[in-house]
Amino acid sequence: MEIKALKDLLPYCLENCTKKTLAVIKAEDDHTLTAVARARKEGAIEAVLIGDAPVIKNLLAQIGEKEEDYHIIDEAGEREAILKAIELVHAGEVDFLMKGLLETKNLMSAIVAKTSGMRTGRLMSKFDFVEIAQYHKLIALTDSALNTKPDVEAKKQIIQNALDVMYSVGIQKPKIAVLAASETLNQKLQESADAWKLKQMWENGEFTDCYLEGPISIDLALEKESVEIKNYQSPVGGDADMLVCPDLVSGNMMGKMMTICGGRAAGIIVGAKVPIVLMSRAAEIDDKFQSIILGAIASQKGA
């Protein structure tokens, strides 16, 4: 089957992946637990809940879940909960992680620490699948949350991270749009020069099993009408699978605007030893659920 929408992730996961185990760090958050419970009941995952055990058990009861269906680990301290989760990863007892009731920066600083053993030698980056009613398939967006001003080498790794996820969900030869404000190279603008260099790398065979175009504007990447009006020639034009953002602030603004305009999103951190499900506190429960399923699929790779 082909993944065209977020709702396709679950059947794809059930059909193609063995059941994975998720560890939730500081799990005492009702929205997070509701999303985790749904993924468990759908048969996609088992879950280890790390945090304030009495609060977690109380919340589970409130959402109609039995505590016996989960492995609950009592670590009320934030730092202890993070370290416990990392320990479980190294022991091979869990396949991926999820942020519960804690600040992203606290979690990520512990994860990126050299002593954590969570590094792979590759840059970590955020990967989002965004779904908007006006586009004919999912849009992969990267990196809108982790690397503030990636240089061209960092962007190369960000793209490679994203390609791994796209292959894991069965997308063949993804079409990558390295965004700028225009399709014309302007060496004075970093995003334009970077996009041009990445296209050269692609032409030199440094990215395989994909198409890559850049610099390219967002309308040429996503809108067939703009492609026709400008008579733009590229396999990526109007049919992009992946949008590579110039920097964090532009990706953050554009990505959030898609959800403000009614879009939905699933997001994970990739490039660490295991995927990390990481959605903002304000994200809807269904988006958190879809992110868990995406994390389960992406964690299959190392299996």
| Nearest distance in Å: CB 216, a second copy | 11
- Best CA proximity match to 290, nearest among 35, 86, 53: 35
Residue number with CB closer to a second copy (5 or 61): 5
**Only segment of 21-29, 39-47, 65-73, 176-184 that touches a second copy (CB under 8 A):** 176-184
Say how far apart CA 165 and CA 33 lie, in whole Å. 25
Binding status of residue 83 toward a second copy by CB under 8 A? no
Could you say whether residue 219 binds a second copy (CB under 8 A)?
yes
Cβ proximity to a second copy, 30 vs 164, nearer residue: 30
Task: Report in angstroms how near the CB of residue 222 gets to a second copy at its nearest.
Answer: 6
Q: Which of 16, 58, 109, 148 is in the footprint of a second copy by CB under 8 A?
A: 148
Secondary structure class of 102 (helix, strand, coil): coil
Q: Count of alpha carbons within 13 Å of 43, Cβ hemisphere only?
A: 9
Instruction: Quickly list H helices, 142-189.
Output: 152-168
Query: Does 262 contact a second copy by CB under 8 A?
Result: yes
Size of the site for a second copy (CB under 8 A): 38
Min CB(244)–a second copy separation in Å? 11
Q: Where are the beta strands (DSSP E) in 77-160?
A: 96-99, 125-131, 139-142
Query: Would you state the structure tokens that stand for residue 204, as one six-digit string?
Result: 């030199």
What contacts 286, CB < 8 A, 6 or more positions away? 35, 264
Single out the residue of 76, 70, 44 nearest to residue 57, CA to CA.
70
Is the Cβ of residue 76 or residue 189 nearer to a second copy in the bound state? 189
Residue 173 sits in the site that holds a second copy (CB under 8 A): no
Nearest residue to 296 (alpha-carbon basis) of 95, 120, 108 = 95
257 near a second copy, rule: CB under 8 A:
yes
Q: Would you say 265 or 297 has its CB closer to a second copy? A: 265
Q: In whole angstroms, what is the distance from residue 128 CA to residue 245 CA?
A: 12
Sign of CA dihedral 171, 292, 244, 123: negative
Asked if residue 279 binds a second copy (CB under 8 A), the reply is no
For a second copy, the binding residue among 245, 272, 277, 279 (CB under 8 A) is 245
Identity of the residue numbered 299: S
The answer to whether 68 touches 47, Cβ cutoff 8 Å, is no
C-alpha to C-alpha distance for 3 and 169, rounded to whole angstroms: 7
5 binds a second copy (CB under 8 A): no
Question: Binding to a second copy (CB under 8 A): which residues in 24-43?
Answer: none
Instruction: Provide the minimum distance between the beta carbon of 230 and a second copy in the complex, in angstroms, as a whole number.
Output: 7
- The answer to the question of residue 181 lying near a second copy (CB under 8 A) is yes
The contact set with a second copy (CB under 8 A) reads 132-135, 148, 179-181, 188-189, 191, 217-219, 222-223, 225-226, 229-230, 245-250, 252-254, 256-258, 260-263, 281-282
